[in-house]
Amino acid sequence: MLIAKVLHSPVAHARIKNIDVSKAKSLPGVAAVLTYKDLPRVVYATAGQSDPMPGPLDTFSLDNKVRFVGDRVAFVAAETEEIANQALKLINVEYEELPFIIDPRSSMSDGAVKIHDEPEYVVHDLSDPNKNVAAAIRIDIGDLDNGFSEADQIIEAEYKVPKVHQAHIEPHVSISYWDENDRLVIRTSTQVPFHVRRILAPVLGLPMKRIRVIKPRIGGGFGSKQEVLIEDVVAHLTIATKRPVRYEYTREEEFIAARSRHPMIIKLKTGVKNDGTITANEMYALSDTGAYGCHALTVTGNTGHKAMALYTGDGKYRKAPNIRFYADIVYTNTPPSGAYRGYGAPQGFWAVERHMETIAAKLGMDPIQFRLKNCLRAGEIHPFSIAWSEGREPKPEYIQTIGIEQCVHQGKSAIGWDQKYGKQEWRDSTDKPYLKRGIGMALMMHGTAIAYLDMGGASIKMNEDGSFNLLVGATDLGTGSDTVLTQMAAEVLGVPVDDFIVYSSDTDFTPFDKGAYASSTTYISGAATTHAAAKVAERIRVRAAMILNDRTDGAPVKPDEIILKDRRAHASDGRAVTYSEIGHHSLHHKDQEQIMAVASYVSPVSPPPFAAQFAEIVMDIETGQVKVEKLVMAVDAGRIVNPVTASGQIEGGMTQALGYAVCEEMTYDDKGAPVERDLVDYHIFRADEMPELETIFVETFESSHPFGVKAVAEIPLDGVAPAVANAIYNASGAMLYENPATPDRVWKALQKQKIN
C-alpha cells in the first residue's frame, strides 16, 4: 500500500504558471506525482447530493488555478508518509497571484475579480459566475407589501453568523485498490457511498459498474463527509500506480481543506401589530460558499425554509402568511463551505429567534406567549412547501403533528422558567455582585428527509435456522442507525434484534440509499426496512400455514390468521411453528423457496420535528465572560424508536451547538490564510467544561410513517445559540447580533447597552 499526500496552495488566488515535479518524482520511494497536466479535465460538484445536482459544477480534481489557501495543487503517492511529505517539498510551483476576496460583501461588487472563469463551468438556476454568485434564491409568499402596510410597527435588524468546523473525531480517510476482478474498490469514511460512486465515475473515466464503494464503521461526519472530498485522490493514484493507496487528512487539513458551515449575514424585517400578531416577515441572506459552490443552494435554501416557516402570524395571517426570502450565495477565496449538521437552519434560527426576542421586548410581551401566538399549528400548510423544494417541484405539505406547546410547557417546568424569568432576586443570586444569572429560550422546527427526492432501500433474507440478514444502504456514522433499523424489522417479524445479521453501505451488496443526511435515515430507510419486513412476514405466515396444514392435529389455518411473535408463527388454536422450522422447511422441503424481500421508500412529505430549547447562564457583566450552566431541550420527534440513541443525538447536538453559541469561529488573516488549524486554537467544549444537559421527548405519532417517527438528528443544533444569547439579554440587557458570544463581543454589547 502506498501513502498519499496532497500539496496545498499557500496563496488565496492564483494561476499556476509552471509546476516542476521532476525532483519529487526522482526521490526514491515515490511511486507517482500527479498535477493538472496528468488528469482528464472533468468538471463536477463535490456535494454528495441526489441527481440532478442542485448547484453549479465548478470543481476539478486538479486545476491550473487555485482559489483558496489549502486548494489542491498536486497529488503524491509514496512508500511511506515521510517520503510523501518530503516529495511535497521538492515540487516547485510558480504562481501568478491574483486579487482575492475574503469578505462576501465584496464578491458582487463592480470590478471584483472573477473567481470562476473556467469555460467548463456549468451554470445552475440563478448562478452567475461573472458576479461571483454560485446560486441565488428569490421566494415570495403572499403579499408582503400589504402585510407591512397593515403592521403597527416594523422592526429591522442585521445578524451575523460565523464559519465553524464539524470537528468529528475521525478525519477524512480513504483507501483504494484494484480487486481480483479488475474493479476499483474505494473503502472510505463517507456519509454517501452511493453518491461517491455516481459522482466519481465520469471524473475517473470508469463505468460505474467498475467502481465499488464500501463504508466501514466511521467516527462521525456531521455533514463534512457528505462530500466527495478525498476519494478521487486515492482513486487517481491507484489508477496511476496500479497499487493500493491510502490518504488520511491531518487535523490541519481538516481545517484548511475540508468543508465547514456557511457564514452568513442575515437581514430581517418584520411587521407586527401591537397585539403581537406578525403581519409580514422578510429575510435576506448573504451566504459565503467559499471557493466552490458545494451545497451552496440547498444549505441557504434551508435557512429560510426552516426558520422563516415557523412563525406565520395569527388569524388570517397564519392561513395566508406574507413571507419573502431572498438570498445570494457568493464565492470568496476562502475554504469551501458545505454541509454541517443543521444544514442552514442554525444560521436562520440565530437570526429569527434573536429577532423574536427583540420584538417581544419592544411590545412588552412575554417572549414565549408572543412566539406561540404566531406559531404554526397542526393541519396548516407548510408555507414554503408551495414555493421551494431542494430537489423537485414544490407540492403542498400539511403539518400533521406538532407538539411544540407541550415542548414549551415541559421545558419550562424542567428549567424552572416561571420561578426565574423576570425575577430580579434570582438574577442576583450569585456570590459576586458582578455575576448575574440569565435564562433564555428559543423555538425551532426542522425537516424529516427531502420529499419526493431521496430514496432508501432495504432487503431482508430468512436463513434456514430462522435468523435473518438485513441489508441496507443506509450509512451508520455513529448514529446507531444499524441498530434502529434492525429494531424496526425485528418488531415486525416478532424476533429479538440478536436474530439479525446487519450489512450496510456497500454499493455492491446493499440496496441503494441516498446516505446519511437530511435527518432521514430512521424515517426513509426505516420505512423501507419496515416494508421489506412486512413482505417477509407475509411469506413466513404462508409457510407456517403450509406446515400446520400438512399436520393432522388441528383445523385448517389461513395465513392471515397467524401472529408472529417470540420467534414463532402462532395459529389461533394455540399451535405454533418455530422460525427455525420455517427456515429449514422453506429451503429444503416442500415447494422450496428463498424467503426474501426488497423494498424501497420515497416520502411525499417532510414532516417537521419541533422543539423548545432553554438555556441558563451566569455572566460577568464587567468582562463579558459567559458560562452556560444548564441546557434543556424538549423535542417532538414523533415516536422514539430507541430512547438511548435518540437522547444521545440531542445531547451531542446541544454540545456542538454550544460551541457555535459561545466559542467556535473560523477566521482568516488579511491574506486569506486560516488562523485556526488545530483543536488548540479552535476550541470545542471538553467533557469537563460541559453544562448540565437534559432531554425531554414529547411523543406524537406521525401517520406518514409505519412507526410514527420524525427526525431527531439535526434539530438540536438550531436553538442553543439564540437561547444562550437571549439568556444574556435576560441577565444584562446586552443585545447580541453576532455569534459566538465571546467575552469581547458581550463586553461591547454591554457598553452599547449602557450608552443607550
DSSP designation for 517: -
Statement: residue 34 has pLDDT above 90: yes
**Considering the domain boundaries, does residue 681 fall inside one?**
yes
Which 3-state string (H, E, C) describes 419-475?
A: HHCCCHHHHCCCCCCCEEEEEEEEEEECCCCCCCCCEEEEEEEECCCCCEEEEECCC
CA 541 – CA 219 distance, rounded (Å): 40
Burial class of residue 214 in the structure, from the number of CB atoms within 10 Å of its CB (0-12 exposed, 13-18 middle, 19+ buried): middle
334 with 442, same domain? no
- Spatial neighbors of 111 by CB under 8 A, at least 6 apart, are none
Q: Are residues 405 and 352 in the same domain?
A: no
Q: For 607-649, what is each residue's pLDDT tens digit?
A: 999 999 999 999 999 999 999 999 999 999 999 999 999 999 9
| Residues 185, 76 within the same domain | yes
pLDDT digits (tens, 9 = 90+) for 413-438: 999 999 999 999 999 999 999 999 99
Do both 695 and 552 map to the same domain? no
The C-alpha atoms of residue 741 and residue 623 are separated, in whole angstroms, by 12
User: What is the distance between the alpha carbons of residues 601 and 750, in angstroms, rounded to a whole number?
Assistant: 52
Position 386 in a domain: no
- Domain contains 164: no
Bridge partners for 158 per DSSP: 267
Handedness of CA 196, 200, 202, 206 (dihedral sign): negative
In this prediction, residues 700-728 reach a mean pLDDT of: 97
Position 391 pLDDT exceeds 70:
no
Q: Of 320, 343, 366, which residue is a domain's last?
A: 366
Of 521, 498, 538, nearest to 641 by C-alpha is 521
Same domain, yes or no, for 561 and 542?
A: yes
Residue 161 falls inside a structural domain: no
pLDDT in tens, 488-532: 999 999 999 999 999 999 999 999 999 999 999 999 999 999 999
Q: Has residue 381 been placed in a domain?
A: no
Q: Are residues 237 and 143 in the same domain?
A: no
Whether the link from the prior residue into 643 is cis, omega within 30° of 0, is no
Beta bridge partners of 5: 76
8 Å CB contact between 337 and 299: yes
589-592 LR contacts (CB < 8 Å, sep 24+): 590/546, 590/550, 591/546
In whole angstroms, what is the distance from residue 67 CA to residue 71 CA? Answer: 6
Q: Would you say 513 and 529 are in contact if contact means Cβ atoms under 8 Å apart?
A: no
Rounded percentage of the chain residues whose pLDDT exceeds 90: 94
φ, ψ of residue 655 to 5 degrees: the values are -60, -50
Q: Are residues 638 and 749 in the same domain?
A: yes
Spatial CB neighbours of 554, under 8 Å, sequence gap ≥ 6: 548, 571, 573, 575
Sheet (strand 563-565) strand order: 563-565, 568-570, 576-578
Per the CB < 8 A criterion, the answer to whether 386 and 324 are in contact is no
Strand partners, 15: 65, 96
CATH of the domain at 93: 3.90.1170.50
In a domain? residue 253:
yes
Residue 484 has pLDDT above 90, yes or no: yes
Residue type (1 letter), 624: G
The whole domain housing 587 covers 455-602
Q: What is the mean pLDDT of residues 316-343?
A: 97
The verdict on residue 360 lying in a domain is: yes
Same domain membership, residue 73 and residue 210? yes
| 20, part of any domain | yes
Answer whether residue 679 shows pLDDT above 70: yes
Cα–Cα distance between 607 and 455 in angstroms, integer? 16
Alpha carbon distance 545, 577 (integer Å): 9
Asked if 271 and 147 touch (Cβ cutoff 8 Å), the reply is: yes
Residue given cell 435527518 in the structure block: 519
Q: DSSP string spanning 267-281?
A: EEEEEE-TTS-EEEE
Q: Cα–Cα distance between 741 and 753 in angstroms, integer?
A: 15
- Bridge partners, 693 (sequence order): 631
How many Cβ atoms are within 10 Å of 594's Cβ, its own excluded? 11
Is 141 in contact with 258 (CB distance < 8 Å)? no
- The cell for 356 is 423574536
Q: How far is CA 756 from CA 726, 727, 730, 734, 752, in A?
A: 18, 19, 16, 10, 6
pLDDT of residue 252: 98
Predicted local distance difference test score (pLDDT) of residue 754? 79
Domain end among 366, 385, 413: 366
pLDDT band at 335 (very low <50, low <70, confident <90, very high): very high
Boundary-marking domain end, from 570, 602, 634: 602
115 Rama class: left (phi>0) / alpha (psi -120 to 50) / beta: alpha
Per-residue pLDDT tens digits for 38-72: 999 999 999 999 988 888 999 999 999 999 999 99
How many structural domains is the chain composed of? Answer: 4
Residues 621 and 709 occupy one common structural domain: yes
Q: Are residues 229 and 305 in the same domain?
A: no
3-state secondary structure 520-583: CHHHHHHHHHHHHHHHHHHHHHHHHHHHHHHCCCCCCCCHHHCEEECCEEECCCCCEEEHHHHH
pLDDT at 126: 82
For residues 574 and 518, membership in a common domain is answered with yes
Tell whether 198 and 61 lie within a shared domain.
Answer: yes
Task: Give the DSSP letter of residue 169.
Answer: S
CATH number at residue 322: 3.30.365.10
Q: So what's the pLDDT on residue 654? A: 97
The predicted pLDDT at position 413 comes to 98
- Considering the chain, what is the average pLDDT of its residues? 96
Average pLDDT of span 668-674: 97
